[in-house]
Amino acid sequence: MKKEWKASQYKGFVSLDVLFSAIPVILMIIYTLNYSALYLDAAERSINAQSDFDRLVSVSDLVVKNLGACEEKNFNPSKSKIVPNKIDLSKLNDLDRKDLAEQAGFKTLEISFEPSEGTCIYRLVVLDSEIKKLYFCGD
């Protein structure tokens, strides 16, 4: 005598089949979401690093070309000119670094002839007829 299958017996097989079909799809979705989150995080770090670099370049341009640069005195005071990349050490020491850091969006800003912590760039400058590296480090 043959055993007859009823519709209720097939429901279990169908639900198992759907379950095993859905597992790969769910795993692919999870993998895609994790990969996109990692990619987004890496892109964000890269953009932040580039932004810090660009702000440091702006600060270094301002200091080297204007705030810390030597002035060539002339008989006529209105014709004295600023010499970019030639640093006046007294002007450099008198800079308000906290104010510069705030305006540039840094917590700290270090301007010296030795590198310090954080993102650093350097500019070649002339100091007392000697070429030196002036480091700009911000965090």
Predicted pLDDT of residue 16: 78
Per the CB < 8 A criterion, the answer to whether 105 and 55 are in contact is yes
Parallel/antiparallel/unpaired status of strands 109-112 and 69-72: unpaired
Tell me the residue range of the domain where 95 lies.
7-138
* Residue 71 region by backbone torsions, left for phi larger than 0, else alpha for psi between -120 and 50, else beta: beta
* 78 in any annotated domain: yes
Residue 90 falls inside a structural domain: yes
Please give the full DSSP string across 20-77, using - where no structure is assigned: HHHHHHHHHHHHHHHHHHHHHHHHHHHHHHHHHHHHHHHHHHHIIIIITEEEE--SSG
Whole-number pLDDT of residue 24: 92
Is this structure's pTM higher than 0.75?
Answer: no
- 121 Cβ contact partners less than 8 Å away, ≥ 6 residues apart: 53, 56, 57, 60, 135, 136
Name residues whose C-beta falls within 8 Å of residue 54's C-beta, 6 or more positions apart in sequence: none
Number of domains in the chain: 1
Report whether pLDDT(15) > 80.
Answer: no
- Phi, psi of 48, rounded to the nearest 5 degrees: -65, -40
Rg (CA), the chain: 32
Give the tens place of pLDDT for each residue, 21-71. 889 999 999 999 999 999 999 999 999 999 999 999 999 999 999 999 988
Residue type present at position 101? A
pLDDT above 70 for 7: no
What confidence score (pLDDT) does residue 78 get?
73
Does residue 97 belong to any structural domain of this protein?
yes
Residue 2 is assigned to a structural domain of this protein = no
Domain membership flag for residue 46: yes
Say what the pLDDT of residue 115 is: 93
